Structures are given as structure tokens and as C-alpha cells.
Structure 1
Amino acid sequence: MAGAALAVTGASRAFGGVYAVRDVDLHVAPGELRAVIGPNGAGKSTLFALIGGQLAPDAGSVELDGVRIDRLAAHRRSRLGVAVVFQAARIFHGLTALENVMVGAHSATRAGFVAGALRLPAHHRAEREIQARALECLALTGLADWACRPAEDLPLGQQRALQLARALCGEPRLLLLDEPASGLRAGEREHLAELLASLRRSGLTMLLVEHDVAFVMRLADQITVLDLGRVIAAGPPAEVRANPEVIAAYLGASA
């Protein structure tokens, strides 16, 4: 995978006059896994939404490979290679697990509307290619045996994995993950860690927002720490772990 560079510069977003994110700079190199951590209310979810396209910044910019995307709708960012895996499982009811994953490739298909409407050979070829890729993504995320089952029948952990498989089916250049380990059992968490490490080795650029600090320290190349909407630390895991401001933000100044 050819990962894209992400640059967030001076990003700010306020709600009712109160800043959730203020003057945040964040840069992710191609092929890097950068994690964003911070205590509750630090602004992690707002920053995630500014990058994914669910919110627009009041100030600052978001760039993908040097191209500004902060005013683009989420579906247009998807066409540029930005894929999002949300914390809450989002699936299409009434579709099988395989069909759910195939939806992820809609923006990457080369067959146009006319080919689809007329059921031309190009459309059938594209469908076969997407189905093959979707099956690979299901296998990659441990869901091969669930392919023909209704997506709503999958347990929560498998529904989370299904979202990830759908995102990967679109062959993203930037993968945004919002607390993917939350609520997973130990075995599921271990499989997820191995999969993310494999994706990093393949060259995919990833931004991981996560509460589980141990999970982050194990995987991330670089970590950005937010507190009260501002960046208080950034750097490699060992450096961030020892930062007094980070310790105070999580444990309190007295600790």
C-alpha cells in the first residue's frame, strides 16, 4: 500500500464559544502509525472528526499529500483514499458480511454508471474484482467464515472487524481508527494488534485514536497527546511515556 502524508496545521473547533480543539498541529509521515491519546474531554474525537470530514474546522487546515481537504465532504475525502473506522459499529442491515465489505470499494471501482446500468462486461469484471478483494479483507480480519451471514448477526467484536474489512476493501491511503480496541476481548485485541502491525509494515498510513495506552505504546511509531483541546506532548512512545505533563494529565499533578 502507498500511504499518504497527513498534515493538520493550527486546527481549531469551538462549540458554543468553548474550544474542543485549539491550534492543533499534527503531522503523519507516509507509512507511519501515529496515535492520539489523552484523558476524557481532551478533544480526541473532535480532532478525529475534523480529519475524517464529519466536522469542518473553524480555523487551520487539513492536508493530504499537500492538498487541502478540510472543506471537502467525507465522501470526497473517501475518493482521495481516506477511510474511517468508527468506534460504534456501523453496518448495513439486510446485507451479508461480504456485501457490507464490498460497499467499501464503491469509490474505487473503475466501472462507471453506464456500465452498471447496462450490465456491461466491464461492470461484471469490476464486481468480480471487488468480491475477490472483499473476501481477502474478510480473511485478513478473521471473518472468512462469516461471509454469507447477515451482518447484523455478527457479535459486536466481529462487527467492529467488519468495519475494518470494509475500510480496507477500498484500498485506502490513510486509515483513521477511532478506539478500535474498545470493548474487545483479549484474543480479539491481540488479533487487532497483529493486523495493525501488519498494515503498518505494508506501508499504510494510519491515525489511531485510542484510550488503551498500553495498546498504543505497543504499536505506535509516534504519539500525540491532547489535553483540554491542546497538544501537550508529541514524540516516540518512550519519550511520551516519561513526559511529566502527560503523567499529570492522566494521573493528576499531585501524583
Structure 2
Amino acid sequence: MRLVVEGASRAFGGVWAVRDVSLTVEPGELRAVIGPNGAGKSTLFALIGGQLAADHGRVRFDGDPVERLPAHRRARRGVSVVFQAARVFHGMTVLENVMVGAHATTRSGFLAAALRLPAHRRDEREIRTAAMVCLERTGLADWAGRAAEELPLGRQRSLQLARALCARPRLLLLDEPASGLRAAERERLAGLITGLRAEGLTILLVEHDVAFVMRLADRVTVLDLGRVIAEGTPAEVRARPEVVAAYLGPS
């Protein structure tokens, strides 16, 4: 899926959080967005995912404008979101939490589900199988029957990613997925993201950890005070003096 953001702007109380931001993410690319605290990263993320509406600008998926679509309709177009804050459904097992990710894309409708018709039961079997594959992939298979709220933070992050993958995304949005993770958990996450990119999944990664970004991203966009100040390969971005001044600090 090709993502194009054109002149996106959003203000809060008269202060621009994001102003005139444009970027293009090509199919199969892993694009990272970095910047200091308050740079506008999370706001841009929400404008793309549909959690916030832009004051100005366009967002396109494969050429189609989606800036007026709510988040759930963008999800139906193949956009899956993993938020920075761990979000789990309490009172449900880990497996059930992951299965939720696929229900927006099921073929059977509400009536079939309410009446437990064969089409719905078939969908449920397929979703359960797909969810277990996603749990295996994220290292959570042994936790499938446990209550989701019992998972430690790192595992809850993995659960969110498994749920997003269960929706079979074409565009995966990751909001600071490495935040708060231990070194081993970061390594496992990096390996998983690398594998997804190798399979051709388009990924937009918003992250504060520069080292984590630089080893994974194909291209990097740098925000400062709501504006794009640099864009390029990791090596090119590292060499830009404005990036060093705004974010990376002196070497």
C-alpha cells in the first residue's frame, strides 16, 4: 500500500502540533518518523490512522483520499495500528484479544453472528487459526489461554502487534513500539519488524529510540516543532546538522 500525506496540519488551542507535513511511503517500505518530544510525531501518527482529523491537508492510500474516513473505515482498507500505550481487552484471554483484530474483516455479518450460522462458525474457526499463527510469531503462543491483563508490559506490546497482524494489514502503523522494553525484548521486536518488511508489508514506525530506528528503517523523516526538517536514508539523516542540533545532540 502506498501512503501519501500532503500538507497535513493540526492545531490544538491555536498551537500547531503538525504544520504542512508531507511524506510518501512506498509499498514495502519501512519509513520511520523521529523527533524530540513535542515534535508532532504522535499527532501525525493519529492523522494517518484516523484517530484525529486534520485541519488541512490530504491523506491518501493507494491514490484514494481517506482524510475524511474514521479509523474503523481506514482499518477496513488494510490499516492496522499499534499504539504506544498497551491496550488490552480485560476479561478476555490473550487468544481472544488477538482474534478481535480480524473481526472487522470477516465475511459474515452481524445477523450470521447473532444466529450462529455456519458462515459465522467457519469465520470463527479461520480467525482462531490465524490468531494462533500470530501468537506463535510474536512469541505468545504459550500465553494463549491466559487473561490478557496478566501479561507483563513487554508481552502486552507483543499482544497488540499480534492483534494488528491478525487483521492482515497492508499498512502497519507502529507508535513507539520499543518504548519501555528490555534489551532482549527490543531485539525480538526488531527481528519481527525486519521479517515483516522482508515479506513486503508497508510499515510506518514512529519512534523516539534513534538507534532502534537507524538499524531498521529504509528512510527516515525528522520532525521538529511540527515541521519536517530532514528526510533521507538513515546515514543521510545522521549527517544533517539541523538534525544533530534538534535531536541527536553533539557527537
Q: Structures share a fold, TM > 0.5?
A: yes
Moved runs in structure 1, 4+ residues, more than 3 A?
none
CA distance in 2, matches of 1:98, 1:114: 24
Whether 1:225 aligns to 2:225 is no
Tell me the CA shift for residue 157 of structure 1.
0.4
CA distance in 2, matches of 1:58, 1:116: 38
CA distance in 1, matches of 2:247, 2:92: 42
Segments of 5+ residues of structure 1 without an aligned counterpart are: none
Supply the AA of the counterpart residue of 2:163: R
Whether 1:42 aligns to 2:5 is no
CA distance in 1, matches of 2:36, 2:130: 38
Whether 1:199 aligns to 2:226 is no
CA distance in 1, matches of 2:248, 2:188: 29
- Tell me which residue corresponds to 2:50: 53
Aligned pairs for 1:176-215 (under 5 A) are 176-215=173-212
CA distance in 2, matches of 1:251, 1:224: 13
- Tell me which residue corresponds to 2:112: 115
Supply the AA of the counterpart residue of 1:38: G
Whether 1:139 aligns to 2:129 is no
> Secondary structure of the residue that 2:21 maps to in structure 1?
strand
Tell me the CA shift for residue 16 of structure 1.
1.3
- Tell me which residue corresponds to 1:124: 121
Supply the AA of the counterpart residue of 1:88: A
CA distance in 1, matches of 2:216, 2:247: 20
- Tell me which residue corresponds to 1:23: 20
Whether 1:94 aligns to 2:95 is no
Number of equivalences:
251
What percent of counterpart residues are identical?
A: 75
Q: CA RMSD in A?
A: 1.1
- Tell me which residue corresponds to 1:5: 2
Tell me the CA shift for residue 114 of structure 1.
2.3
Whether 1:150 aligns to 2:147 is yes
Tell me the CA shift for residue 251 of structure 1.
5.1
Partner deviation per Cα, 1:52-106 (whole Å, 9 max, x = no partner): 1111111001110011111111111111111110000000000000000000001
